[in-house]
Amino acid sequence: MHWNLSVPALYEHILRRGEGTVAAGGPLVVSTGAHTGRSPKDKFVVREPGSEGRVWWDSNAEIAEEHQRSLKSGVQEHLNAQPELYVLDAFAGAHPEHRLALRVVTESAWHCLFARNLFINPTDEEIAEHRPEALVLHAPSYEADPETQGTRSSTFVVLHLSDKEVVIGGTQYAGEIKKSIFTLMNDDLPQRGILSMHCSANVGDDGRVAIFFGLSGTGKTTLSTDSTRPLIGDDEHAWGEDGVFNIEGGCYAKTIGLSREAEPEIYGTTETFGTVLENVILDPVSRELDLDDGSLTENTRAGYDLEAIPNALPDKRAGHPSTVIMLTADAFGVLPPLARLTPEQAMEQFLAGYTAKVAGTEMGVTEPQATFSACFGAPFLPQPPRVYAEMLAERIANYGAAAWLVNTGWTGGPYGVGHRMPIAATRSIVHAALEGTLEGVETRTDPNFGFEVPTSVPGVDSGLLDPRSTWADGAEYDVKAAELAANIKAAAAKAGS
């Protein structure tokens, strides 16, 4: 058993075992095989007396405790039979009073490196005192028997909330490790009166903190990784009595189409020793990466230590947010690029968790499809959405945070007709919201959504701010906007019930 190996040592094991390839610049390129993303239909929560009363069973698939025991026993037997195992002791949560001590045991050296990047590594002194409260048993080459072990397929991700145990098998996709611990934290922290959030966060030199909610593809990582604002983290945070803290020690960014010009900080991590690149294509001779090649999957990923970002905040903690930004990529092209939300509107958008899928993102998607994920993270919520929504509403009210909706999606018409919102315009919009330059600016009330929409933003073409004016057919816009407004309200009402 190899315990808490350094990054260079893990590289040696990975290369010796043929698990990955070193690319130009030093990152490690690996393949996740058949699973190039999470398997949400194969994730289960154990129905057991200690937690069943607080679990959101409408969203979480249940599995019997006897089947969990069978899977755990099978994984333990499988791991014990391996010639080598890799163990990582780490923390989830940068706040010393609210962190979770965890242990990951895996048969794969590259998955151990991934976990080392994504979780918070203890100091030498902390390692000596480390007592795991949570355990991940990770056996990607072990497959379940659905007929006898209660799973849907040979793949499984099983969480026992009371025991804080995760058992994973049948998938190489590393994101299952990260998101399983996040799910445990989403159960543990609210019980302590702390709001856990699927969001990124950064802070200005003036100490003003911003958090960014948004589903995959909305720009959460891109917009929070800003050279002018130190990064607290890109995906998972908690809001406690003394401010915001990162749950992770690293980032897990999408890399498809990444460019040095548009996203220099994230792009730089793809040339960094220690970064794990999943399913990224590289030239076998030059070892140069092709970040535009999605032949294996559009969901290519980079898992790297937060400190790989030049202006990352070392403590991974800051004060109470003054700005809450909810991101959506509206492929229907009807939402304004920026809107100020009342507390009630913020709760509606939070509960709905709207974005849109476009053609090519999933099998069978040929035109824009609205998708809703409560609290911008329904797959990771063990408890009902209203638990998290009520805690967010309380904090927005207590600390006077301004809430904004930012549409990073389409303008000038829907996907296939219009075009994606320019990233430069979106950055200018976000900066204006964060710096307070929109206070007192003239606004209009959107007739379909009821938002207050600024009529001007520094550095942004004012024509973009009124989406109806960018459409060739205003009447067609009205129909689509009214339809989306109704769908958002319905999704929020369902999630909050």
Predicted local distance difference test score (pLDDT) of residue 366: 56
pLDDT of residue 331: 94
Distance (Å, whole) CA 37 – CA 401: 34
Burial of 21 (0-12, 13-18, 19+ CB in 10 A): middle
Among 235, 207, 251, CA closest to 434: 207
Nearest-angstrom CA–CA distance, 466 and 497: 33
Per-residue model confidence as pLDDT tens digits over 310-345: 999 999 999 999 999 999 999 999 999 999 999 999
Q: HSE (CB half, 13 Å, CA atoms) of 206?
A: 7
Which CATH number applies to 2-193: 3.10.310.70, 1.10.3720.10, 3.40.449.10, 3.40.50.150? 3.40.449.10
Residue 189, C-beta contacts closer than 8 angstroms, at least 6 positions apart: 98, 195, 196, 238
Q: Which pair of tokens denotes residue 430? A: 């976000």
Question: Is the pLDDT at 141 greater than 60, yes or no?
Answer: yes
Query: Residue 483: is its pLDDT beyond 90?
Result: yes
Structural contact between residues 264 and 283, judged by C-beta atoms closer than 8 angstroms? no
Q: What is the pLDDT of residue 497?
A: 87
C-beta separation of 36 from 254 below 8 A: no
- 377-428: pLDDT as tens digits: 999 999 999 999 999 999 999 999 999 999 999 999 999 999 999 999 999 9
Contact criterion met (CB below 8 Å) for 358 and 365: yes
- On whether the CB atoms of residues 66 and 95 are closer than 8 A, the answer is no
Residue 361 binned pLDDT confidence (cut-offs 50, 70, 90): very low
Per-residue pLDDT band at 147 (split at 50, 70, 90): very high
Provide DSSP, 58-103.
TTSEEEEHHHHHHHHHHHHHHHHTSS--EEEEEEE-SSTTT-EEEE
Q: Average pLDDT of 363-388?
A: 88
Phi, psi of 276 (to 5 degrees): -105, 120
CATH, range 320-496: 3.90.228.20
Q: Where are the domains of the chain?
A: 2-193, 320-496
Q: How confident is the model at residue 110 (pLDDT cuts 50, 70, 90)?
A: very high
| CA angle (151 as vertex; 182, 155 as ends), nearest 5 | 65
Q: Please choose, from the candidates 289, 159, 177, 317, the residue with its C-alpha nearest in 3D space to the C-alpha of residue 233.
A: 317
pTM check: above 0.85: yes
What are residue 362's DSSP bridge partners?
Answer: none
The pair of structure tokens assigned to 493 is 């009402």
Supply the DSSP symbol for 2.
E
Distance, CA of 130 to CA of 362 (rounded, Å):
42
Reported as a single tens digit per residue, the pLDDT across 251-306 is 999 999 999 998 999 999 999 999 999 999 999 999 999 999 999 999 999 999 99
Q: Is the pLDDT of residue 186 over 80?
A: yes
Residues 6+ positions from 472 with CB-CB distance below 8 Å: 413
How far, in whole angstroms, is CA 133 from its chain's centroid? 23
Go through the chain and tell me how many residues it has.
Answer: 497
DSSP string, 443-491: EEE-TTT--EEES--TTS-GGGG-HHHHSS-HHHHHHHHHHHHHHHHHH
Active site amino acids: 38, 179, 198, 216, 220-221, 235, 301
Residue among 357, 359, 388, 356 at smallest CA distance from 488: 356
